[in-house]
Structure 1
Amino acid sequence: MGNNKNMGMLTKNDKITTNNNMVLERQIETLGALGSSESPMIVPSSDDVTLDTMDGEEELVGSDQTSADYYFDSYAHFGKREMLKDTVRTKTYQNVIYQNSFLFKDKIVLDVGAGTGILSLFCAKGGAKHVYAVECSAMADTAKEIVKANGFSDVITVLKGKIEEIDFPTTHVDIIISEWMGYFLLFENMLNTVLYARDKWLVPGGVVLPDKTSLYLTAIEDAEYKQEKITFWNQVYGFDMSCIRKQAMLEPLVDTVDANQIVTHSTLLKTMDIEKMTAGDASFSAPFKLVASRNDFIHALVAYFDVTFSKCHKATGFSTGPRSRPTHWKQTVMYLEDVITICEGEALTGIMSVSQNKKNPRDLDVTVQYSFNGKRSSASRTQHYRMR
C-alpha cells in the first residue's frame, strides 16, 4: 500500500456489490486522527512474533486505459497527501538519509517510483552527488516543478517513464532507494522494478534502501464486521444474494485492525533480502502456526509487514502491524469461511501461498490452506483470495 494503491480495494465500510448489476457504494465513517507529526519511535514487531518453520485487460468505465495502465496515473494526485502525512513512513526515510550521511555523501542515487520526489529531495539535502528520480505517472511533471522550486535542479534529474524503458543517462548508481512496498507488502509488484534497476545499474557493493522486509500473519476476532458486511448477503429480505457474499470473501480487506481484536501470536511468513533476492522469490508458499493467547473466536487472518534499513549506522525500520503506529498501508484482512472457537494455547495451522496473477502481474493471488482441531471446534479448508 508506496502510493494510494487501494483505489479499487475494499475497506471496512464498503458495501460489496456485483460487477454487472451494482456499483460500489462508499460509506466512509470518520475514524479520527491516526498519527502525529512527531518523529516515529521505531518499534519492530519481534516481541509479538513466534518464528515457525479476466481474460485480457479490464477496461475502466469512461476510459480507454486498461487496469494495468491506470496503475501509473490512478494515484498521481489523490494518494500523495496520504503518503506524505504518513509520518511513520516519511520520517523513517528522512531519518535514514539525514542520520547516515556517510552512505549518501558524493554518491549517485536512483529513486525508483519517485512520486513527488520527496525521497530525492532528502537525498540531495543529505549530500548526494546526483539523484535520478524515476516516476512513470503524471506526477513526474509536478516533481520537476517541486525540485526546481526548492533549488535542486542541478542535483536532481526527474525522468518520466517506466524504469524498464527509460533512456538512463548514466551507467551506474551507488544507491537505489525506493518506497516500493504495497498492501500485503507485494500488491502491485513494484518490487520487480527495483530488482530490475538493481541488476542493471547498481555497482558491486552498492546499497539498496530499504534492504530487508518481513511478512507476518496473525488472527483476529471480528464477528461484528463479518456479520454486517459478509453474512448479510446470505439472506436479504428473504432472498438469496450469496453470490455477492462470495465476492466479498474473495477480496481481502485493507483496514486498520484494533489490537484488542488479536487472538493469536504472530508468525513469520517470509523475509526478503532485496539486495540478494530474485524476482521469482516474491512468489512463495509458507507454513504458519498461530497459537491462541486467549479463549476467543477467529474470524479472519491478518497480514502485515516490517521494513528494515540494516545498512545504516544503527539499524532502523518500521512495522505496519496492528500493535504499531498506524501507516497508510494499514493491515490486510482475509476472512475465513469458518468461525473457529479456539482456546488459549491451541494452534491454527496451515500454508499460505502467494503469487502474481497470471493475467495482471500487479494483482496477487493468495491461497490459504488451514486446519484446526481443538476442544470446542474443528475446521479444515482451502480458501482463495485475489488482491486487485
Structure 2
Amino acid sequence: MSAMETENLAPSEAHYFQSYNHHGIHEEMLKDEVRTNSYKNAIYQNKHLFKDKIVLDVGCGTSILSMFAAKAGAKHVYAVDMSTIIEKAREIVHVNGMDDKITLIQGKLEDIVLPVDKVDIIISEWMGYFLLYESMLDTVLLARDRYLAPGGLIFPDKSHIYVAAIEDGEYKDEKIGFWNNVYGFDFTPLQKVALSEPLVDTVEYKAVVTEPCLAYSIDLYTVTKEQLAYHVPFNLTVRRNDFVHALISWFDIEFTACHKTISFSTGPHAKYTHWKQTVFYLKETLTVECGEEIKGTISSKPTVRNPRDLDVKIEYELVTEDRGRKAAGTCEYVMC
C-alpha cells in the first residue's frame, strides 16, 4: 500500500492492511492445508456451479482462490485487495497464464466500482481469530448487498462459534502467575493486563473439561453488519471431576452451496489450523464435578477505537449443590 493510500485511512486500519503486505502471513495461510484444501475442494468438486460464472474474490491476497475459480471454469474473476501483495498476485496470475480470466483490483471494496454490475459467486477467506477479530466479514456483506446477483452463491456461507472450558493450570501459572513475583518485585498491575488479553494458542483436546456448546451461528446470506455484535448464552456440561482455569472458543466453517457440504473445524479436536483456539482465562479457578454445569453469556462487539478489534465479555456461574464450590464472575477482554 502506498503512502498516499494510507493517508486516507485511520492508523489502526492502515496497520491492518499493511500487515498483509508481507509475504510471511500469506505463506502461513497457504501452508494451512485444512484451510486451503477446503476452499480448493469446495470449488473443484463443484465446477458445475462455477462454469461460465462471474466471480468476485474479496480480499484476494496472493490470488489462490481466484485461480481455483478460474481453473474450475469461471467466465471471469474479479479479485480485490487493499494491500500491496496484489502486485505479487498479478505476477502469479501472469506466470500461470490466467491474465485473460482474472482481473486484479487494488483498493477498498467500499471505495471502488467493479467493471460489472453483478456477480454470480462471492468467494472470500475472511475469518480471523475468534472468527471476527480482524475479519473482513463486514466487507463481504457489503459485497453481497452491492454486487451479488439474485440467487447468487457465497463460498463459504455458514460459520459457527463454539465455547468449552479447559483445565490449564500449569500454563496459566506460567502466563499469569509469573507477574506475582518478578525478580522479587510485585508486577500484578501487568497481571491484570495479561488476564484481559485472550491468548491465541493450540489447546490439547485432553485439556477440555466440558462438552462444547454452540454459542453463535452466522448465515452469510442473511446476517447484517449489526448482528456481528452479539450477546448469547452458553451452557457447558462438565465431563469429569477437574479444575477449570479458562474458557476457549473456536469456529467451524461450512460451504453449503456445494453438491455435498464441505466443512472444517478450528477446534482442539480437529487438525491444526493457523487460527488455533482462543483462550479466555478466568480470574478464579473453578473446582467442578462430572455432570455439573457452567452457565453464562458471552458477548462480542467491535471496539470504539478500531472496528476490527473486539471487546469481549464473559459472565459465568458454576451450577452446583455444593455451596462451598459455588462460583460466579464477570470477565472482560480486549482483542487488539
TM-score higher than 0.5 here? Answer: yes
8 Å contact kept, 2:295–2:319 = no
TM-score of the two chains, using structure 1 as the length reference: 0.82
Identify the structure with bigger relative contact order (alpha carbons < 8 Å, sequence gap 6+): 1
202, 208, 222: which one aligns with 1:256: 202
Deviation at 1:372, TM superposition (A): 1.3
8 Å contact kept, 1:234–1:240 = yes
Q: Where does residue 290 of structure 2 map in the other structure? A: 344
Deviation at 1:236, TM superposition (A): 2.4
16, 19, 38: which one aligns with 1:74: 19
Deviations 1:294-344 (A, max 9, x none): 111000000000000111000111000000001010000000001000000
2:188 is aligned with what amino acid?
S
CA RMSD of aligned residues (A): 1.2
1:283 and 2:240 are equivalent in the alignment: no
2:157 is aligned with what amino acid?
D
235, 242, 247: which one aligns with 1:301: 247
Aligned-partner SS, 2:24: coil
Q: Where does residue 329 of structure 1 map in the other structure? A: 275
Deviation at 1:373, TM superposition (A): 4.1
Give the % identical residues: 53
Aligned-partner SS, 2:149: strand
8 Å contact kept, 2:131–2:251 = yes
Q: Where does residue 308 of structure 2 map in the other structure? A: 362
Q: Where does residue 29 of structure 1 map in the other structure? A: none
Q: 1:93-132, aligned counterparts within 5 Å?
A: 93-132=39-78
**Worse-matched range after superposition: 67-76 or 142-151:** 67-76
Kindly indicate which of the two structures has a greater share of residues assigned to helix.
2
8 Å contact kept, 1:283–1:353 = yes
1:332 is aligned with what amino acid?
T
85, 100, 103: which one aligns with 1:157: 103
TM-score of the two chains, using structure 2 as the length reference: 0.95
Cα distance in 2, alignment partners of residues 78 and 377 from structure 1: 47
Cα distance in 2, alignment partners of residues 189 and 313 from structure 1: 27
Cα distance in 2, alignment partners of residues 80 and 164 from structure 1: 23
Deviations 1:244-264 (A, max 9, x none): 111111110001100010000
Q: Where does residue 238 of structure 2 map in the other structure? A: 292
1:303 is aligned with what amino acid?
S
Deviations 1:252-309 (A, max 9, x none): 0001100010000000111100011111111111111111101110000000000001
1:387 and 2:332 are equivalent in the alignment: no
8 Å contact kept, 2:242–2:289 = yes
Aligned residue pairs total: 325
Cα distance in 1, alignment partners of residues 276 and 294 from structure 2: 23
8 Å contact kept, 1:217–1:267 = yes
8 Å contact kept, 1:189–1:363 = no
Aligned-partner SS, 1:236: coil
1:67 is aligned with what amino acid?
S
Aligned-partner SS, 1:361: coil
2:265 is aligned with what amino acid?
S
8 Å contact kept, 2:163–2:214 = yes
8 Å contact kept, 2:35–2:273 = yes
Unaligned runs of 5+ in 1: 1-63
